[in-house]
Amino acid sequence: MKDKNHQKLNNEDSCCEISDRINNTAIGKEKAAGKDDHEHGEDDGHNHEHIEGSKLDLFKWPAISLVLLLTGLAFDYLIPQAWFKDYIRLGWYLLAYIPVGFPVLKEAWESIKKGDVFSEFFLMGIATIGAFAIKEYPEGVAVMLFYSVGEVFQTLAVSRAKGNIKALLDQRPDEVTVLVDKTPKTMKAAQVRIGDVILLKPGEKLGLDGQLISEQASFNTAALTGESKPDSKYNGETVLAGMINLQSVAEVKVTAAYEDSKLSKILEMVQHASSQKAPTELFIRKFAKVYTPIVVFLAIAICLLPALFVKDYVFTDWLYRSLIFLVISCPCALVISIPLGYFGGIGAASRNGILFKGSNFLDSLATIQHVVMDKTGTMTEGVFKVQEVHFNTKFDQNQLLEYVNVLESHSTHPVATAIHEYVGEIDHQINLQQIEEIAGHGLKADIDGKELLVGNFKLMDKFGISYDLDPKSIVYTTIAVAMGGEFVGYLTIADSIKADAAKTIQDLHRMNVKATMLSGDKSTVVDEVAKELGIDQAYGDLLPEDKVNKVKEIKASNQRVAFVGDGVNDAPVVALSDVGMAMGGLGSDATIETADVVIQDDRPSKIPMAIRIGKQTKKIVWQNITLAFVVKAIVLILGAGGLANMWEAVFADVGVSLLAILNAVRIQRMNFQ
């Protein structure tokens, strides 16, 4: 949010409009479009003196009003002045009223012209003008003064929530050093083209996604993953915008435009995060639109109806009660604090490397009873290594491995990488034909007129290949190979369990959340991993449709389910689950696009952390709802009965709003480790 907008927001935006700004935040929009962001004061971390000045400017008019109000009260009660009465007294309090009251009255008029009669500006305007009409000048000024101060704090809270998330995520430099004819040249990151080479010095942040062309470099990836430990990259590997070069000078070839970088996509996701509103938030907004006009008519009834039933009816007394009722009724505490609470939850999650696509998913995770997870890449590293090769001696093992290596090069499965690392460079002279990937089974191709099959034993069964061993007796993941209709043998491949996988399951069980593992890997491997981690149930040898059926079975028992996987291959299960979570913010762009929640650093321990953040966010939101309703109900009853004055009304409105805001922003300081 630009500094020049702070005062405008204080003076012109209603609670609902500020709420809309929270829900439709433009975080990262300028960055994603490649615009210079230096004027963003508070958000970009520069111009701190200007920032402080702008914050003081927010309080300038309320401060003037406060001084005049206190002086007037002193003339009324502490050091009474004979001249301070009648029109002079009225004029003095009008001077105190105008700095804080005029902008609100102006907005009330603008809202009425737009057809929105029952805004909080209208409520404040009627209440304070009514107070002046019955000569309660100090109270009229006080209501508008405290209302304006509350608006200032709301502005600061919203600005801080946005600034925190933007500072956490968008850490790209605006300028980069590009090698032009081997000469370093500084230019705007948005102007750099694909194919240009960036010179990255130690301590500098990378501005665009690219490919490392230096032999080796070490990076801090905290901007993307939340992990600050060094991550070594080697020649040809992908490096992303936001990473910090830690050691020697590195050269990076740009592979994506500024607006297409991984970080831009993450920022875009956060930009639209709060457009997906939680049910609680949607209800409160609808409630406020009905609630406000009702209390206006009730206030009119409180003022006029007693004339029909009360013998000693005094109009000014009942008007005062109705004005108190109006001030109390303002729904600011609800309309502001609830979206701010959800926005704070999204910010807290972002700080921990967890990206939510909407506040509705915070609510959903808070009620999750069952987490269903993939194995490879979720609970295990997904880095396979060939352990053993068992081929029939009648075949040329080296030649067959070359064939398998070429065929697997057409697959993106981690197994293909393991085979490639084991066999070595691909022999491009090997001519495979009619290459076909059979989902859930493996690969098929023809070579020299013979059929080559590489996959699991279900593939062997599918093509009627006989073998003289029990696949279940092999613990590790097995890649079976057949050539020309004859079983050749198999390779065993092993994957290592992630360091925090066991703690993840323990944390889930402590929250009474069940854990089930579904995998296309062989059952013996899946069972072994599940046993080691303490997972409740595990199923292996599953096709994608089998996973869908398993999740349907769980949901049929009325359990709310979160599925954790890669977000792409398991798209049907992600769509079926209540919350789809993707491991690997550094993985494919499709992962970010398909999942509801993205865990950026691949750590499964972030699964229970995300649930904790969801639960805490929902808890704070309901604390604010309860606080607002209870206090307002008590003071409304007291006000209608003539037992509360305007000062109690101010507390019920502005005071509760401030308490709710402070409670909402508290979540951003919590430790969820």
Sheet strand arrangement including 197-200: 183-188, 175-180, 197-200, 250-254, 210-212, 238-239
Which one, of 127, 132, 144, lies nearest residue 299 by Cα? 127
Kindly state the greatest CA–CA separation across the chain. 118
Distance in angstroms (rounded) separating the CA atoms of residues 69 and 73: 6
Assess whether 76 carries a catalytic annotation. no
Q: Report yes or no: 611 and 619 within 8 Å, Cβ to Cβ.
A: no
Beta bridge partners of 390: 490
Residues in the chain: 673
Distance in angstroms (rounded) separating the CA atoms of residues 325 and 643: 12
Q: Report yes or no: 605 and 497 within 8 Å, Cβ to Cβ.
A: no
List, as one string, the DSSP characters of 301-342.
HHHHTHHHH-TT--HHHHHHHHHHHHHHH--HHHHHHHHHHH
Q: List the catalytic residue out of 374, 507, 566, 602.
A: 374
Q: Report yes or no: 346 and 591 within 8 Å, Cβ to Cβ.
A: no
Q: At what angle are helices 279-304 and 359-366 packed, to 10 degrees? A: 100
What is the gyration radius of the CA atoms in the chain, in angstroms?
32
* Ranges assigned E (strand) in 495-650: 514-518, 537-539, 561-565, 579-583, 597-599
Beta bridge partners of 436: 444
DSSP assignment, residue 172? -
> 3-class SS at 438?
strand
In this structure, what token pair is assigned to residue 445?
Answer: 């191709």
In this structure, what token pair is assigned to residue 483?
Answer: 């050539």
For residue 200, the surrounding DSSP H or E stretch is strand 197-200
Distance in angstroms (rounded) separating the CA atoms of residues 452 and 407: 9
553 conformational bin, left if phi > 0, alpha if psi -120 to 50, beta if neither: alpha
List, as one string, the DSSP characters of 633-649.
HHHHHHHHTT---HHHH
The letter for the amino acid at 123 is L
> 3-class SS at 478?
strand
Which one, of 172, 186, 177, 152, lies nearest residue 9 by Cα? 152
Question: Which residues are CB-neighbours of 329 under 8 A, at least 6 positions away?
Answer: 123, 291, 292, 295, 296, 299, 632, 636
Write a three-state SS string for 16-76: HHHHHHHHCCCCCHHHHCCCCCHHHCCCCCCCHHHHHHHHHHHCHHHHHHHHHHHHHHHHH
Distance in angstroms (rounded) separating the CA atoms of residues 410 and 583: 23
Distance in angstroms (rounded) separating the CA atoms of residues 372 and 573: 10
Sign for the CA dihedral angle at 12, 15, 20, 21 comes to positive
- Which ranges of 424-543 would DSSP assign to H, the alpha helix? 457-462, 501-510, 523-533
Distance in angstroms (rounded) separating the CA atoms of residues 33 and 142: 44
In this structure, what token pair is assigned to residue 426?
Answer: 């691909």
- From first CA to last CA, the distance across the chain in angstroms is 30
For residue 252, the surrounding DSSP H or E stretch is strand 250-254
- Catalytic residue ranges: 374
